[in-house]
Amino acid sequence: GQQLNQSPQSMFIQEGEDVSMNCTSSSIFNTWLWYKQDPGEGPVLLIALYKAGELTSNGRLTAQFGITRKDSFLNISASIPSDVGIYFCAGLFNSGNTPLVFGKGTRLSVIA
């Protein structure tokens, strides 16, 4: 099945540093979602984006819906140890809640 191109695959950063990851697609999406997955758990929704160009924040997290509707990025500022996990981007082609298309994830490690 189709997947989004998510990068980087993994990151090792020092506590306090900022983090940036992104997703690109050859197709246009109507919705972009960013999830975080902790070991042994399901993905937890962090941020949802519904309009091209939209910039949305959730605490130290900021995400943007690209104006071409083919990309999105997620930034984490001032990383802390509990930010460790796998971050997934996901896109929806259509409204009406249809299946998500996922990126392969960015594995984030934070060194205290």
| Structural Rg of the chain based on CA atoms | 13
What residues contact residue 86 under an 8 Å CB cut-off, 6+ apart? 36, 37, 105, 106, 107, 108
Number of residues that bind another protein (CB under 8 A): 27
Cβ neighbours around 92 below 10 Å, total: 18
The residue within the footprint of another protein, chosen from 11, 19, 33, 76 (CB under 8 A), is: 33
Q: Give the Cβ contact number of residue 58 at 10 Å.
A: 13
Q: Which of 1, 14, 26, 112 binds another protein (CB under 8 A)?
A: 1
* Selection from 88, 76, 99 nearest residue 43 by Cα: 88
Q: What's the CA gap between 81 and 13, in Å, rounded? A: 10
Q: How far is the CB of 1 from another protein (least distance, A)?
A: 6
Q: How far is the CB of 58 from another protein (least distance, A)?
A: 13
39 touching another protein, by CB under 8 A: no
Residue whose CB is less far from another protein, 45 or 67 = 45
Per CB under 8 A, 59 contacts another protein:
no
**Interface positions with another protein (CB under 8 A):** 1, 3, 30-31, 33, 35, 40-45, 48, 50, 88, 90, 92, 95-100, 102-105
